[in-house]
Chain A
Amino acid sequence: MLFTFCQWLYDSDIGTAIRESIWIFPIIETIHVLSLALLVGTVALVDLRLLGLILKRQPVTNVTRQILPLTWCGFAVCIGSGLLLFWAEAAKMYANPAFRVKLVMLLLVGLNPLVFHTTIYRRVAAWNEDVITPFRARFAAFLSLTLWAGIVVAGRAIAYFH
């Protein structure tokens, strides 16, 4: 069922056009890789602040409120370019183990901030200025860094399972 859908995407005019063009696929892929800096780079900065490793003199909300809009821009570019790449390679991606691992980790990395923002971050006013934030905030940051690193590694590994 899911595979039929992937095959249909793969065979569609747009999917075929992206895949067979000499330039379009590499250009989209380059955009996808470089938007990594905007998405993962900014996420990592927020996480490293929560861990008390960088920007120690900045209150936590100062960092999160100003940096997270940039993260969302990176997210939009990454998702958009990622969907186009998937469109072109859907039938091959379906069975690619690295791609499957990446999707699972993306799902998990989405759940993490959901939990973080509805729990410990609600009381951020109490620890906003702390260099070392509460354990649960640091744990969320650690999970986020690990998962995003895993996503980057799995994403790169997709090409090695082709």
Chain B
Amino acid sequence: MSLLPVFQWLAHSALGVLMQESKWAFAIVEMVHLLALALLGGAVLIVDLGLLGLGLRRQPIGHIARELTPLFASSLVVMAVSGVVLLSEEALKCYYSPAFRAKMALLLLAVLFSITLHRSVIRSSITTQVNWKRRAAAVISLLLWLGVGLAGRAIGFL
């Protein structure tokens, strides 16, 4: 089954038409997307660098992560919503863009990883000690989110 009809529908939806006809809407929504990136990136970095023993390392990262979950979740929602709005302006271009496809695949992996293995490692991180399991979870998470960011930026270049 191809997802093409979904992208076509989005491109021709009221939202898509509005975005395509407006001169400044894309720029404004893109800035919102970028601001949320700073917050999401900040939350991811603090937790993963903490797991690696950098930054917030004097307190168990499990406690820090629990306090940062609302920030992580809300900035992810803002990025997803603004992302769909951006997508509606150029849905068909994105459908055929290898960078966009890579970004979606990496995003899926990053989110899945963060709510499964990564989360269970964090939940059990109630000491400040660094071990291979915590290091591995942090490195995989950082690489996945970095990949999402790189592929996202590449949409504009490819």
Instruction: Mark A residues whose CB is within 8 Å of B.
Output: 26, 29-30, 33-34, 36-38, 40-42, 44-45, 48, 54-58, 62-63, 66-67, 69-70, 148-149, 152-153, 156-157, 160
The answer for the CA separation of A153 and B86 in the assembled complex, in Å, is 16
Q: B residues touching A (Cβ–Cβ < 8 Å)?
A: 27, 30-31, 34-35, 37-46, 49, 54-59, 63-64, 67-68, 70-71, 146, 149-150, 153-154, 157
Partner of B39, one of A30, A41, A63, A69: A41
- Taken together as a complex, chains A and B put the C-alpha atoms of A66 and B30 apart, in Å, by 31
Taking a contact as CB atoms under 8 Å apart, the answer to whether A37 and B54 are in contact is: no
The answer to whether A67 touches B56 (Cβ under 8 A) is: yes
In the bound assembly, the distance between CA atoms of A111 and B89 in angstroms comes to 39
Contacts of B58 in A (CB 8 A): 62, 66
CA distance A41 to B157 in the complex (A): 24
Is the beta-carbon distance between A58 and B59 smaller than 8 angstroms?
Answer: yes
A54 to B72, CA, bound (A): 11
State in angstroms the CA–CA spacing of A58 and B63 once bound together: 10
Choose from B40, B71, B149 the contact partner of A54 (Cβ within 8 Å).
B71
Docked CA distance A93–B63 (Å): 45
Q: Which of B34, B49, B68 contacts A152 (CB 8 A)?
A: B34
Name the A residues within 8 Å of B41 (CB-CB).
Answer: 34, 36-38, 41
Q: Which residue of the partner chain A has the closest CB to B41?
A: A37
Interface centre among B34, B41, B49, B157 (most CB of A within 10 A): B41
Residue contacts A-B, CB under 8 angstroms, 13 given: A37-B37, A37-B44, A38-B42, A38-B45, A44-B38, A44-B39, A45-B42, A54-B70, A66-B55, A148-B38, A149-B35, A152-B38, A153-B34
Chain A residues near B70: list those with CB within 8 A. Answer: 54
Pair B38/A55 contact, Cβ less than 8 Å:
no
Of the candidates A30, A42, A56, the one whose C-beta lies within 8 Å of that of B67 is A56
Q: Which of B45, B56, B64, B67 contacts A41 (CB 8 A)?
A: B45
Complex contacts, B63 vs chain A, CB 8 Å: 57
Query: Given A66-B56, A153-B31, A42 and B150 touching (CB < 8 A)?
Result: no
The smallest C-beta distance from A87 to any residue of chain B, in angstroms, reads 20
What's the Cα separation between A70 and B41 when bound, in Å? 13
CB contacts (< 8 Å) of B31 on chain A: these are: 152-153, 156-157
Q: Please give 10 more A-B residue pairs, beta carbons under 8 A apart, in addition to A26-B154, A33-B149, A37-B45.
A: A34-B150, A36-B38, A40-B42, A48-B71, A54-B67, A62-B59, A66-B58, A152-B35, A153-B34, A157-B31
Contact A45 B153 (CB under 8 A): no
Q: Is there an interface contact between B157 and A70, defined as CB atoms closer than 8 Å?
A: no
A67 and B34 in contact, given A30-B150, A62-B59 (Cβ under 8 angstroms): no
Q: In the complex, A149→B41 CA distance in Å?
A: 14
Knowing A37-B45, A41-B42, A54-B70, the reply to whether A157 touches B56 (Cβ < 8 A) is: no
